[in-house]
Structure 1
Amino acid sequence: MDLINVEALTFQNKTKSMWSKSKVTFDLGPVSFNVKAGETLAIVGDNSSGKSLLAKLLVGLETPKSGKIFMNGVELNKSNISVRCHDIRMIFQNSNDSLNPGLTLGSILEEPLRLNTKLNAQQRRSLIEQTLRQVGLMAEHQFFYRHMLSDGQRQRIALARALILNPKVIVADEPFAALDPSVRSQAVNLLMKLQLDLGLGFIFISHNLGIVRHISDKVIIIKDGKVIESGKTDAIFNWPKNEYTQKLINSHQALVNGQDNQR
């Protein structure tokens, strides 16, 4: 069975004026896909294509105009919002901005546990320490503040916050964009290990085609809010059908060849 199944999801962003009718400024969808346990779906497109908006729809930060989202065959709606909070978690693009500088890392990780579980203080602390170790940090990091961490460690805290409720699906919105290449490689390997160990489904939003090709099983290409191509990763990269997809792949290949020639 699919972990998550999205059916014809759409969204319209409108502007309102006192003297005129509402005007649609961005139209997303329809978007449909499914993700199974241990599977990674990559969402690819240029800036402002609708990738991050789709992520917000999946985790409930925005409300779709139409369409349905199912978790393990159960439709997500207002009556079971807690299911979404537990089962779909998000890693935001800029981990530095998403971490409150005035709170210890332990307090940041404890917040979703206080809001979404009935664990007592000792149980919460034990789970926080376990999750920190799971992402390659020490239990003592719970007493640290954001400014005391490197970029790579901040990203691990963002991952720990996503994992701490034991989700089934993680939506990662450009999680490696701010990391240098060596740290990025470590973060990618950590994500892949956790996916293997925990059977997670990943929805990976990125414009980095090198990482997309390395970690994803399936790819959806979005342009101006519309899905223009989707399929298995190997098929998309080796036999793209759409001119826009071909352009993205050619640009990536040119960049890779240019880096190789500089070595």
Structure 2
Amino acid sequence: MAERNYPAPVLTETLKWEGGRVDDPRDPGGRTNQGVTQATYDAWCKGCHAPVRSVYAMTAAERDAIYRTGFWAKVGGDGLPDGVDLAGFDYGVNSGPARALKALKAVAGMADGAAAVKAVCAARLSFLHGLRKAAFEKGWTRRVAAIEAAGVKMALNARIGTPPAAAPTPGVAAQLQTHAKVAADKAKAQTRTVQTAMAWGAAGTATQVAPTPALHISLVALGIAGVVLAVAIAVLLWRRAHAQARADAYSALAQTAAKDA
């Protein structure tokens, strides 16, 4: 089980994405320090019968305790497999423990830890994409990809630490590089799909419509088709970007693992 993984490496990975002292007007959470909002810190101080002060004054010990009680405990981190604990915890920090728990329940009992990590991250990405917050979407995509890769690495390390399977298992670095190649191939395939869709759209808009009594209806239909195509291309571009982010994250970790081996 994964009680040994908090605060490091789980919280350590999450804090890479939470930043330091931030007061972004686009973020409804307001002022934060290492991902902890002022409101959350106020509640923590009151619960500990401590003076309320700026979240910028929060200590590392307070931060670790806030994340433990507010997120790690709520997603059941101590009882989750290596890697899955990171995926569920970071999802909970980003979107709330209740939503993370739904994804974790869907993979409960899954024997393949790496596959479970991927499934949790896929569910998370689907939810985030539905929010349509363009200001944060690129950062979210990179974050989920990096957390997935780090979680898979943890799961692979745990697998090597258990009794060996009947067939030889490749080294962690080699397996991570395989994941990177699969993601890169997917990104390339989606690039070709986007190019095909854009070419089809260009050909459609270049089509000359002869003046007939049905001209208006034809133009309306063409306009609707154009909107649908634009939406489809936007989705494909987003998927391509995420696949590339996953490839980059896996490749970076594979290089790190190779150096550590």
TM-score band, normalised by the shorter chain? under 0.3
Query: Hey, which of these two has a bigger chunk of strand by percent?
Result: 1
TM-score normalised over the length of structure 1: 0.26
Tell me which structure has the larger Cα radius of gyration: 2
Highest RCO, 1 vs 2 (Cα 8 Å, sep ≥ 6): 1
TM-score normalised over the length of structure 2: 0.26
